């Protein structure tokens, strides 16, 4: 793991330990506190844990995108190496052909002069020695010498390029492994935090149940006192029973009318930014992309996945737009850089919204301040608000 990654992972683990320690101290300090104060304390712990888990998820999302870029770099270097090896083999065949011509020329010179061949001291199996002008200047024609020089230079250049590509591929592989190691440590810390959050939530439920029991007991006592007072009043006003019954009927009728009026007035709920706004897309292609994205709701997040059963953030939007016949990259930053940008107030269903600096997350806008996204490990494809503090921009495929 690199030095820059270690502090971040250490911070994640330290945060988990801090929350656990804080919870222990709080429990000790508030041993004689009321259930209500205990509940507030535990809810604060739960919120801190949830915030840390969200932060871990965003960090893993960044690592996933970087991992994909490293994997693409490895594939690119490997493909270029294969091409260079093929070119090197072709140059080697060309060298062998020129070597054969020179061997034939040497034999002809020997036969013609009746003297030891001027090439007798040349090692014809050594391409570099064959390429040396001083070794065969008197035996090879200018055209052959130039041809062999060109082949030698090409072979050397390919060798240098091949070494550089191997070095680049090794660096990309090392970066990929580092990212995977960092991701595993953050995931381990998240699992510990999830376990602790489950314990806290269990304690919260217990406290809520305790408070509810106390509330019910208080309500029961208040109701009992009210009924006793009513009984005393009825005993004192026995002579007015008929009138009291009439008043009771009127009271019940008034209460019924009030309830009916309240039920019919109704109020509209605020817009839920985590649900489908059901707005049409501006064109058929965008509508296909939006409908395809909606069809993936509930499927799991898996980093570097692009469907059909699981997705990461850029894989989801790539899959949705591919269904509409539009090809985009499997990388959030590359998507943003390659597509036309749109303003915030110009967003239409099907547009892509991007987050982070550098960009590491993307979702598909569906209207009403809502996007469909594949957020991070442990959270399935979902509706979510587009309003995040790390908004980076929007683009339209």
Read off the pLDDT band of 376 (50, 70, 90): very high
* Residue 222 clears pLDDT 80, i.e. is over it: no
Q: Which of 2-6, 83-87, 321-325, 350-354 has the lowest mean pLDDT?
A: 2-6
Span 290-297, average pLDDT: 97
Residue of 42 and 223 predicted with greater confidence: 42
Angle ∠(27,28,31) on CA atoms, nearest 5 = 80
| 118-156: pLDDT as tens digits | 444 445 455 555 445 444 445 455 666 676 677 777 777
Nearest-angstrom CA–CA distance, 105 and 111: 10
Average pLDDT over every residue of 155-181: 80
Helices (H) and strands (E) in the chain, counts: 9, 6
Long-range contacts of 55-59 (CB under 8 A, 24+ apart): 56/12, 56/186, 56/187, 56/189, 56/190, 56/193, 57/190, 57/375, 57/376, 57/377, 57/378, 57/379, 58/356, 58/360, 58/361, 58/376, 59/8, 59/12, 59/186
Q: Which whole number is the average pLDDT over 363-388?
A: 93
Every domain of the chain and the residues it spans:
5-208, 284-395
What is the longest distance spanned by two Cα atoms in the chain?
A: 156
For residue 200 the two structure tokens come to 């806290």
pLDDT digits (tens, 9 = 90+) for 98-126: 767 767 766 665 665 544 444 444 454 55
Residue 359 has pLDDT above 70, yes or no: yes
Angle, CA 348 vertex, CA 342 and CA 350 arms, to 5°: 95
CB 121 within 8 A of CB 115: no
pLDDT at position 319 is 98
Give the pair of three-digit tokens for residue 344.
């915030």
CA distances from 226 to 215, 229, 235, 236 (A): 16, 5, 14, 15
Q: What is the dotted CATH code of the domain comprising 284-395?
A: 3.90.1720.10
* Ramachandran bin of 373, using left for φ above 0, alpha for ψ from -120 to 50, beta for the remaining angles: beta
- Kind of pairing, strands 391-395 and 341-342? antiparallel
Confidence band (pLDDT; 50, 70, 90) for 185? Answer: confident
The class (CATH top level) of 5-208 is mainly alpha
Question: What pLDDT does residue 80 have?
Answer: 78
What contacts 167, CB < 8 A, 6 or more positions away? none
Confidence band (pLDDT; 50, 70, 90) for 263? very low
């Amino acid at each position: 793991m690199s030095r820059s990654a270690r502090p971040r992972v250490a911070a994640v683990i330290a945060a988990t330990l801090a929350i656990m320690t804080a919870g222990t101290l709080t429990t000790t300090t508030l041993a004689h506190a009321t259930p209500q104060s205990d509940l507030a304390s535990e809810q604060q712990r739960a919120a801190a844990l949830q915030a840390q888990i969200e932060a871990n998820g965003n960090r893993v999302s960044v690592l996933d995108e970087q991992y994909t870029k490293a994997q693409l770099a490895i594939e690119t270097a490997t493909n270029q190496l294969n091409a260079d090896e093929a070119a090197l083999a072709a140059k080697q065949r060309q060298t062998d052909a020129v070597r054969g011509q020179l061997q034939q020329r040497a034999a002809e010179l020997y036969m013609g002069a009746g003297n030891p061949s001027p090439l007798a001291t040349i090692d014809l199996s050594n391409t570099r020695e064959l390429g040396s002008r001083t070794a065969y200047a008197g035996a090879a024609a200018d055209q052959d010498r130039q041809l062999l020089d060109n082949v030698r230079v090409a072979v050397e250049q390919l060798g240098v390029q091949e070494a550089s590509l191997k070095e680049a591929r090794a660096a990309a592989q090392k970066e990929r492994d580092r990212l995977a190691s960092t991701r595993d440590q953050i995931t381990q810390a998240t699992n510990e935090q999830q376990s602790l959050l489950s314990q806290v939530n269990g304690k919260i439920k217990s406290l809520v149940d305790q408070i509810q029991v106390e509330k019910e007991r208080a309500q029961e006592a208040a109701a009992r006192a009210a009924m006793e007072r009513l009984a005393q009043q009825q005993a004192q006003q026995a002579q007015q029973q008929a009138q009291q019954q009439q008043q009771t009927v009127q009271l019940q009728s008034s209460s019924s009318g009030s309830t009916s009026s309240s039920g019919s007035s109704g109020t509209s709920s605020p817009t839920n930014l985590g649900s489908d706004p059901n707005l049409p897309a501006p064109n058929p292609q965008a509508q296909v992309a939006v409908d395809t994205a909606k069809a993936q709701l509930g499927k799991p997040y898996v980093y570097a996945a692009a469907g059909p059963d699981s997705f990461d953030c850029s894989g989801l939007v790539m899959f949705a737009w591919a269904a509409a016949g539009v090809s985009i990259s499997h990388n959030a930053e590359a998507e943003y850089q390659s597509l036309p940008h749109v303003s915030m107030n110009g967003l239409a269903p099907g547009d892509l919204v991007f987050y982070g600096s550098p960009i590491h997350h993307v979702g598909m806008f569906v209207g009403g301040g809502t996007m469909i996204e594949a957020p991070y490990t442990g959270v399935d494809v979902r509706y979510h608000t587009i309003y995040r503090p790390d908004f980076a921009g929007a683009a339209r495929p």
